């Protein structure tokens, strides 16, 4: 009888007031210990500098003396900063021209490689390689050698009897060389397009061909609608990347912004103000303005997506 009573007491102790067995308490100390380096990096490497830059945007700070609060002076200076307005114009032209051309080239190559060419892995790697190297200093230096006054491009033109010029030193063509460089780095979106094309069922094309639809009609009615989420994804990423372009303009122009500031990208001007003029307070404000601009373009893309992106299965 005592044994039965002890068993009942054990059962009663292991259950709650509603008769439901209590779950053992979980020990998350190990998980938090493994996550601690990540949280430390987030706080001290990412979140901390972001918050500091926001505060510095309202100060006069030269990296040597302590920052002095100046309210909205940095933001008001932007209204009358002619070089900032020039940098904004150059960057907008660069984004609005290079990104559509880059995506068009990427899609065209993806359609070609989707035909089942022999050695597809080699071609895919070869076309992807410029994306890995396009933002490097070495490629920017190479670009200066190609489009310089005595560069390879002019040598090719001379073989056809055409007299070239200094494409980088001419303000009418300097930005175009950087646009070509960005278009040349189409490898990353091309690989994403190729993966998306492989997910389109072949039966759609077979049914369209049976109904007499040509290749162009199939492309407009099948490929583009079903690939539109991939196009949207690449568009958002490449717009953000184009706004953040810095290395190409810095190396090709020698850090000056090119002739007549024709290649003065926004990030290059921000660098000049912060590390050239030691006007870190104003540079911090410029950085936050760039964040607002990128966020605005991203929001516009998401708003416009509902008119042309198809998510139907």
Is residue 84 within 8 Å of residue 277, measured between CB atoms? no
Q: Please indicate whether residue 215 or residue 11 has the higher confidence score (pLDDT).
A: 215
Per-residue pLDDT band for 131 (boundaries 50, 70, 90) equals low
Average pLDDT over residues 42-58: 90
- C-alpha span between 90 and 268 (Å, rounded): 11
- Check whether 43 has a pLDDT greater than 50: yes
Mean of all residue pLDDT scores within the chain: 85
- Check whether 121 has a pLDDT greater than 90: no
Is residue 186 within 8 Å of residue 109, measured between CB atoms? yes
- C-alpha span between 208 and 215 (Å, rounded): 9
Domain spans in the chain, listed from the N-terminal domain onward:
2-56, 73-308
Scan for tokens 């979980």, then name that residue: 26
- C-alpha span between 47 and 51 (Å, rounded): 6
Phi–psi pair at 59, nearest 5 degrees? -135, 165
DSSP conformation letters of the chain: -HHHHHHHHHHHHTB-TTSPBPPPPP--HHHHHHHHHHHHHIIIIIIHHHHHHHHHTTEE--SSSPPEE-TTHHHHHGGG-HHHHHHHHHHHHHHHHHHHHHHHHHHHHHHHHTTT-TTHHHHHHHHHHHHHHTTSHHHHHHHHHHHSTTSHHHHHHHHTT-----TTTSTTTHHHHHHHHHHH--HHHHHHHHHHHHTS-HHHHHHHHHTT--HHHHIIIIIHHHHHHHHHHHHHHHHHHHHT--HHHHHHTTTTTSGGGTT--HHHHHHIIIIIS--HHHHHHHHHHHHHHHHHHHHHHHHHHHHH-----
- Digit-coded pLDDT (tens) for 174-187: 899 899 988 988 88
Percent above pLDDT 70 for the chain: 85
- Check whether 222 has a pLDDT greater than 70: yes
- C-alpha span between 31 and 38 (Å, rounded): 12
Average pLDDT over residues 111-118: 77
For residue 261, give every residue at least 6 positions away whose Cβ sits within 8 Å of its Cβ, in sequence order, or none: 83, 86, 87, 90
Q: How far is CA 209 from CA 94, 103, 197, 198, 214, in A?
A: 40, 27, 18, 18, 7
Label residue 265 left, alpha or beta by phi (over 0 means left) and psi (-120 to 50 means alpha).
Answer: beta
What pTM did the predictor assign? 0.83
Angle (CA) 279 281 285, round 5°: 115
| The two structure tokens encoding residue 201 | 């069922």
Look at residue 7 in the predicted model and tell me its pLDDT. 47
Sign of the dihedral defined by the CA atoms of residues 183, 184, 188, 189, in that order: positive
Average pLDDT over residues 83-102: 96
Per-residue pLDDT band for 78 (boundaries 50, 70, 90) equals very high
- Digit-coded pLDDT (tens) for 141-176: 777 778 877 778 888 888 888 877 878 888 888 899
Scan for tokens 């990104």, then name that residue: 99
Could you tell me how many residues make up the chain? 313
| The two structure tokens encoding residue 187 | 């490898």
- For the beta carbon of residue 165, count every other beta carbon within 10 angstroms: 14
- Check whether 268 has a pLDDT greater than 60: yes
Quick one: fold of 73-308? Answer: MetI-like fold (1.10.3720)
């Amino acid at each position: 009888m005592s044994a039965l009573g002890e068993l009942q007491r054990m059962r009663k102790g292991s259950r709650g007031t509603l008769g439901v067995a209590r779950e053992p308490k979980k020990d998350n100390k190990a998980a938090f210990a493994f996550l601690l380096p990540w949280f430390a990096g987030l706080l001290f490497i990412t979140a901390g500098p972001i918050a500091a830059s926001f505060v510095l945007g309202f100060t006069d700070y030269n990296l040597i003396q302590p920052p002095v609060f100046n309210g909205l002076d940095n933001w008001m200076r932007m209204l009358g900063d002619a070089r900032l307005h020039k940098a904004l114009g150059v960057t907008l032209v660069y984004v609005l021209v290079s990104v559509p051309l880059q995506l068009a080239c990427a899609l065209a190559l993806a359609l070609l490689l989707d035909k089942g060419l022999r050695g597809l892995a080699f071609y895919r790697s070869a076309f992807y390689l410029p994306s890995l190297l396009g933002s490097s200093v070495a490629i920017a230096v190479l670009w200066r050698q190609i489009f310089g006054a005595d560069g390879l491009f002019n040598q090719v033109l001379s073989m056809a009897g055409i007299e070239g010029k200094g494409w980088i030193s001419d303000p009418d063509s300097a930005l175009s060389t950087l646009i070509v460089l960005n278009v040349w780095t189409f490898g990353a979106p091309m690989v994403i397009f190729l993966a998306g094309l492989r997910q389109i069922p072949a039966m759609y094309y077979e049914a369209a061909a049976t109904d007499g639809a040509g290749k162009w009609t199939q492309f407009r009615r099948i490929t583009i609608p079903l690939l539109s989420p991939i196009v949207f994804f690449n568009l958002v990423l490449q717009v953000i990347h184009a706004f953040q372009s810095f290395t190409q303009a810095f190396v090709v122009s020698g850090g000056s912004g090119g002739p007549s500031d024709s290649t003065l990208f926004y990030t290059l001007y921000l660098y000049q103000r912060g590390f050239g003029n030691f006007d870190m307070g104003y540079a911090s404000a410029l950085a936050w303005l760039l964040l607002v601009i990128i966020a605005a373009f991203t929001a516009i893309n998401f708003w416009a997506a509902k008119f042309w992106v198809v998510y139907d299965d």
